[in-house]
A and B are shown apart, each in its own frame.
Chain A
Amino acid sequence: MDNKQIRIALAGNPNSGKTTLFNKLTGSNQFVGNWPGVTVEKKEGKLIVDKEVVLTDLPGIYSLSPYTLEEVVARNYLIEEKPDAILNIVDATNLERNLYLTTQLTELGIPVVIALNMMDLVKKAGDSINVKELSRQLGCKIVEISALKGDGVKEAALAAIETAKNGKTVPQHTFSGPVEHALAHIEEVTVHNLPEEQQRWYAIKVFERDEKVMDQLKIPADVRTHIEKDIAAAEKELDDDAESIITNERYVYIGETLKGIYKKKGKGQLSVSDKIDRIVTNRILALPIFAVVMFLVYALAMGKSIADGGIAIGTFLTDWANDVLGGAWLTDGSRAILEGWGAAPWLVGLISDGIFAGVGAVLGFVPQMLVLFLMLCLLEDCGYMARIAFIMDRIFRRFGLSGKSFIPMLVGTGCGIPGVMASRTIENERDRRMTIMTTTFMPCGAKMPIIGLIAGALFGGSTWIAVSAYFIGVAAIVVSGIMLKKTKMFAGDPAPFVMELPAYHLPAWGNVLRGTWERGWSFIKRAGTVIVISSIVIWFLTSFGSVNGTFGMVDALYEDEDLVTDEYVAQVADRMGIPEDEVEPMDDSILARIAQPASVVFKPLGFGDWKPTAATVTGLVAKEEVVANFGIMYAYDDQEGEEELEENGDQIWDRVADDFNAFSGGHGKLAAFAFMIFNLLCAPCFAAIGAIKREMNSPKWTWFAIAYQCGFAWVIAFIVWQVGRLFAGGMNIVGLVLALVMLALLCWQLFKPYKEAQKLTVK
């Protein structure tokens, strides 16, 4: 034991203060959520009191059954990794249910120390717990703590280390006669070759017919039939199934134990949380209250700027960041400074037009996103978020999703990656897969710039574009939900909803700000890394190319009359499909050469030009890239040099508008709208695809999700562009017919009667 690193596992019910305790013990800064299931992965940290000790934060669990992902993760770790001790955090305000898990943990043969959390609340309510007696009854040491205030945390850590070194926990509870009889048999015939301290846990699991354990132990068929007899005998005698017998007897044991130990003063009165729930989840008021709350969140973050008489502090700050910080200071400032130093034109171009124009276009949205994240963190921390899932359940159920899908989607409005990850709290596999596939339809923070660009450049900054983007996102989820539900893969009722609602509390500002910053920072960090690099690459690809056989910076080469002959210009115009007087140096860039052939894919959607094509493809790196890319591609100086690039934003917007109008035959708005729809709905960025792959845990499903998203995006954009031109004029009859056929197919899938599949094909 001397040289071995000590490992302690932190286990407890969801929402019992586990992550708070983990932060206090290790000094790390994990975000603490106020809804069950925030910790879906195990995290590790070193104890502050002893750096040699590793603490593992397990997901919050109610039990060690094999039915939810969290439980499987937690129990596999405990069984296979065998930590030296378990620090079991127990919520003293809900002793009975928390101790239910404790009785299971003590069976694992690992020493257990209990950290009794929220004792201050118990005392405040006038109740009392005889901790000494409880410790004796359970056979493990108990330390009273307050994770939030940090009281007793150090003592708990020291007790856990001490126990890990030379402690032992023997389960004190026994089951009734018939069960113990069967357990003894099982121990004898199946688990006697396992380590002695683990035998009891395995025996109980075999008794419960836990499939995962049965498979793991590879019990021969004859032994199986033999123990099956014992189990059946116990079931018959106690008139219940094996699993329920064990569960009931645990609760009975806990109830008996607590009788003399836990004294409750007040009984039966409604708590503050209950009173709030009476109003907030009221059958009539719930939805209006929810609508008002969501409206306020988005009005404050993304509505009309304070400067224009609205209440959106987010928009106000972002406007400032875009116009002043990004445009005037960074891009133009850096240009002035560099030119003052006499830097080479290509270097000025790289830094000002490449890096600063690209990164600035993205960073401008940081204030708006921080405000949005702050709101969502506030809602989550005070406990309202969990209620939203409940309120939305009956609506989501209509199109085949559970209310729990709402949380991933809400988180997805910030960033798709945590959104996809949040889907883990959904127990049912079909629901989870469907949620993973559809979550990224919600316009995430990185797609907001795209919406802003299209709205600003072509629609005069109309708020309706942003509203429609959210509407399209929600509609895509609903439509996909209904359509997919009717395929064989997803058939079946959505999983029944059951979820613990945490108590309301005033937001803990430290926690809210930490959560806001954590989400905001990951956005900024991406802007600082992925986007800087790809901005440089894009700048290079747009600035260099070969003109009439000579390679170099296209702007410089176009000055050369010998290279750019009339004949050559005619050639370029022909290749790009534009009039001769519109040929620009950039049309000879590497990017234009690559993207032009690829743009054929988007021709039927109205934006088959190389610039939007390049932007869409680079959007896979990060959706912020789409706008960053526009920033670079349209940030060229006017050829005659009359129009120096000054007000970055407005000038780019005008050029974007002109360009969209030019290549779409005057239907710029429609083409831009189709462009926006495609970019909102198609496959998300690589990071989010990575998250989808992790959560799906299957290449087949990952590809299916991506293919579905891209296909759906293409079809919807196609329909919008083709049918839209019916009203805007200039329609294409073949395209229109095809669009109508697609629309009819969609509707058929939407409205055809739903047939319940006979059996589940998803395994």
Chain B
Amino acid sequence: MMPLVLADTGEEAVIKRVGGSTEMKKHLEDMGFVAGGTVTVLNTIGGNLIVKIKESRVAISKEMAGKIMI
């Protein structure tokens, strides 16, 4: 298991766990970051990521991406 920040660009990965505070976790889950779902890193800039989740592109900061384990 490793945080999403370390994922290779363009590789599809399966989310194992979502951590963080209740609020942050719920928000991530509502946007589609749920265990068992797939996520693809499209781009990174200064540690922040643009990922593909479900069928949409989501920009996510380093701190938050660190809470998503793949």
Chain A interface (Cβ < 8 Å from any Cβ of B): 62-63, 65, 67-68, 93-97, 100, 241, 243-244, 247-248, 251-252, 268, 273-274, 277-278, 281-283, 286, 386-387, 389-391, 393-394, 397, 427, 493, 496-501, 503
Contact = CB atoms under 8 A, between A and B. Distances in A.
A248 B54 contact: no
A283 B31 contact: no
Interface string B25-37: 1111111101111
B58 A500 contact: yes
B7 interface: no
Contact of A394 (B12, B28, B42, B46): B46
Contacts of B26: 63, 65, 67, 243-244, 247
Contacts of A94: 54-56
Nearest to B40: A268
B30 A394 contact: no
B70 interface: no
A97 B54 CA distance: 7
Contact of A393 (B25, B29, B61): B61
Contact of A283 (B12, B45, B58): B45
B31 A277 contact: no
Contacts of B53: 97
A501 B59 contact: yes
A389 B28 CA distance: 18
Contact of B50 (A247, A268, A277, A397): A277
A496 to B, nearest CB: 4
A244 B50 CA distance: 23
A96 B44 contact: no
A391 B58 CA distance: 13
26 contacts: A62-B31, A63-B26, A95-B55, A96-B55, A97-B53, A97-B55, A100-B32, A243-B22, A243-B26, A244-B26, A247-B30, A248-B35, A251-B36, A277-B42, A283-B46, A390-B48, A393-B59, A394-B45, A394-B47, A394-B48, A496-B24, A498-B31, A498-B64, A499-B58, A500-B57, A501-B57
A277 B43 contact: yes
Given A68-B27, A247-B29, 8 more contacts: A63-B26, A247-B34, A251-B34, A283-B44, A393-B48, A393-B59, A499-B60, A501-B59
Nearest to A251: B34
B59 A97 contact: no
B27 A97 contact: no
Given A248-B34, A500-B57, A282 B48 contact: no
B32 A244 contact: no
Contacts of A283: 44-46
Given A497-B59, A497-B60, A499-B58, A391 B45 contact: yes
B18 interface: yes
Contacts of B59: 386-387, 389-390, 393, 497-501
B8 interface: no
Given A244-B18, A244-B25, A251-B37, A498 B61 contact: yes
Contacts of B47: 394
Given A244-B25, A251-B37, A278-B43, A65 B55 contact: no
A283 B45 CA distance: 5
B53 to A, nearest CB: 8
The 9 closest A-B pairs by CB, nearest first: A497-B61, A63-B30, A94-B55, A390-B59, A496-B64, A394-B46, A62-B30, A247-B29, A501-B57
Nearest to A275: B42
B31 A500 contact: yes
Contacts of A391: 45
Contacts of A286: 45
A277 B42 CA distance: 8
Number of contact residues on B: which range applies? 35 or more
A301 to B, nearest CB: 27
Interface of B: 12, 18, 22-32, 34-37, 42-48, 50, 52-61, 63-64
A65 B12 CA distance: 28
B39 to A, nearest CB: 13
Nearest to A71: B30
Contacts of A498: 27-28, 31, 58-61, 64
Contacts of A501: 50, 56-59
Contacts of A281: 43, 45, 50
A93 B37 CA distance: 17
A277 B57 contact: yes
A750 B34 CA distance: 41
B43 A282 contact: yes
A289 to B, nearest CB: 12
Contacts of B64: 496-498
A65 B30 contact: yes
Contacts of B29: 243-244, 247-248
A387 to B, nearest CB: 8
A383 to B, nearest CB: 10
A387 B43 CA distance: 12
A97 B58 CA distance: 12
A318 B24 CA distance: 48
B68 to A, nearest CB: 10
A394 B30 CA distance: 24
Contacts of B57: 273-274, 277, 500-501, 503
Contacts of B25: 243-244
Nearest to A284: B45
A387 B36 CA distance: 28
A274 B30 contact: no
A161 B57 CA distance: 34
Contacts of B12: 268
A252 B31 CA distance: 14
B45 A282 contact: yes
Nearest to A270: B42
A649 to B, nearest CB: 46
A754 B55 CA distance: 40
Nearest to A62: B30
Contacts of A248: 29, 34-36
A340 B46 CA distance: 69
B56 A100 contact: no
Given A244-B18, A391-B45, A67 B23 contact: yes
Contacts of A496: 24, 60-61, 63-64
A96 B38 CA distance: 12
B30 A100 contact: yes
Contacts of B37: 251
A412 B29 CA distance: 32
A681 to B, nearest CB: 30
A637 to B, nearest CB: 60
